[in-house]
Structure 1
Amino acid sequence: YVSYFVDICSHHLKLLPFLASCSLYFALWLPEPSWVSAGVKSLPLLSLVWFLTVQAWGDGAWTPAARRVRWGLMFSSVGDFRLVWPQLFIPGMVAFALAHVCYIWALGLRPTRPWLLLLLALAWAGAYVTLWPCLGGPYLPAVGGYGALLAAMAWRALARPPPHLTVATGSLLFVASDLVLAWDHFCAPVPQARLIVMGTYYAAQGLIAAWAPRTGPPWKET
């Protein structure tokens, strides 16, 4: 029990930089766009990169899945930085699309759960049709492609067995964050949109990062 308690405390202590940087972002609430705002916005994801690296190495769980999630977090930090400037919205989407590719790669394609894939595909099709009148030019294919990757990431996360509830919850929060962001950015202002988007987004990324060190057999035991 003592060893378990020490492990839990160590795990939570490693998350302190992430929690502190999230608190800093919401406390400062800097206007966008600015270089300082972009840096503060990216800090939580960079903190998660540090957390995942230290936690996975310490647990002997530096698995391929953990490495792929780390790449996803790094691409996400680039996306956070870019989205501060409206003219970099599509490059920001590209960075997040690459992050989702990394997450899908980390989650794997088994078990398949085709019924879940169909359900999420229909859900995204409905969301895309709703957003369609608000989109134009390059945003039509960009949002369509990005949304398909987001739905695929959620499919792979939700298809995992019950012990992987952490990443499943993270995927749903990511979907919620991006849907609010899309509606607010393209269609109509959403009250407290930035607070909702960033709160659900940071929670989503934190859950995904917390899941990664627990995947696969520890390399120290192989």
Structure 2
Amino acid sequence: MDILETDTRYRRNIAADAASRCLKLLPFLASCGLYFVLWLPEPSWVSAGVKSLPLLSLVFFLTAQAWGDGACTPSACRVCWGLMFSSVGDACLVWPQLFLLGMVAFALAHVCYIWALGLHPARPWLLLPLALAWAGAYTTLWPCLRGPYVPAVGVYGALLAAVGWRALARPPPHLAVATGSLLFMASDLVLARDHFCAPVPQARLIVMGTYYAAQGLIAAWAPRAPHASPRWKES
């Protein structure tokens, strides 16, 4: 009887926790809906603010989750930093002349995500297909790149592939962060193709849809990520 009561209590706690997390994600979902409903022309300060709002809502989600849990996990704190850098990148990309600065902000976000994901287990064989995929993508973008974008896109792509590697290398059940990292790669590839080479039909819709989904999945993973040691390994 005690075992049944314990199991029932455990299931109720799980359901209550899931409901609480969904409630805290409502601002993110609402702000995403606001972005797509308004579909503001760019560039403008208003469009930059509306575009960055979903990322700031995810920071609120992680902060509220940490408050409810009594502490912020190291991974969640690092993802928070990544989200804040991403919000700066979102605002910068609204203005074409700030595109390079936006890339720097997103590169810092990816460093934070790699830090959050850790380097253990290594599983280096997972890096090979991602590296080959990025090499192929970079080869197609190369003729379209000029000036500082030649090395900048190469470095940025390497960081993006590294995030995917670390996300896929996580032991299960980490489907959310793995899917999020792959969606991020798809989003940035469409963005790069549209910005540097030739217009992609419905590029903004594809880019922002996959991007918001990616960031949401990464943020949803962070509060339940195992604690990491100073050497980026699971304890």
Q: Are 1:148 and 2:133 an aligned pair?
A: no
Instruction: Report the equivalent of 1:185.
Output: 195
CA distance in 2, matches of 1:194, 1:94: 20
Partner amino acid for 1:73?
A: L
Partner amino acid for 2:35?
A: Y
Instruction: Report the equivalent of 2:99.
Output: 89
Q: Percent identity among equivalent residues?
A: 83
Instruction: Report the equivalent of 1:104.
Output: 114
Partner amino acid for 1:137?
A: G
Instruction: Report the equivalent of 2:174.
Output: 164
Instruction: Report the equivalent of 2:207.
Output: 197
CA distance in 1, matches of 2:19, 2:135: 43
Residue 61 of structure 1 and its aligned partner are, at CA, apart by 5.0
Q: Are 1:120 and 2:147 an aligned pair?
A: no
Normalising by structure 2, report the TM-score. Answer: 0.90
Q: Moved runs in structure 1, 4+ residues, more than 4 A? A: none
Long gaps (5+) in structure 2: 1-10, 228-235
Q: Are 1:78 and 2:88 an aligned pair?
A: yes
RMSD: 1.2
Partner amino acid for 1:19?
A: L
Long gaps (5+) in structure 1: 218-222
CA distance in 2, matches of 1:13, 1:168: 23
C-alpha contact (below 8 Å) 1:61/1:213 kept by paired residues:
no
The equivalences for 1:49-68 within 5 A come to 49-68=59-78
Which of 50, 56, 61 lines up with 1:40 in the alignment? 50
CA distance in 1, matches of 2:151, 2:15: 49
CA distance in 2, matches of 1:195, 1:14: 25
Instruction: Report the equivalent of 1:220.
Output: none
Residue 181 of structure 1 and its aligned partner are, at CA, apart by 0.3
Structure 1 range deviating more: 26-35 or 113-122: 113-122
Larger radius of gyration: 2
C-alpha contact (below 8 Å) 1:83/1:89 kept by paired residues:
yes
Normalising by structure 1, report the TM-score. Answer: 0.95
Task: Figure out how many residues of one structure are paired with residues of the other and give that number.
Answer: 218
Q: Are 1:31 and 2:44 an aligned pair?
A: no
CA distance in 1, matches of 2:196, 2:93: 14
Q: Which has the higher contact order (CA 8 A, sep 6+)?
A: 1
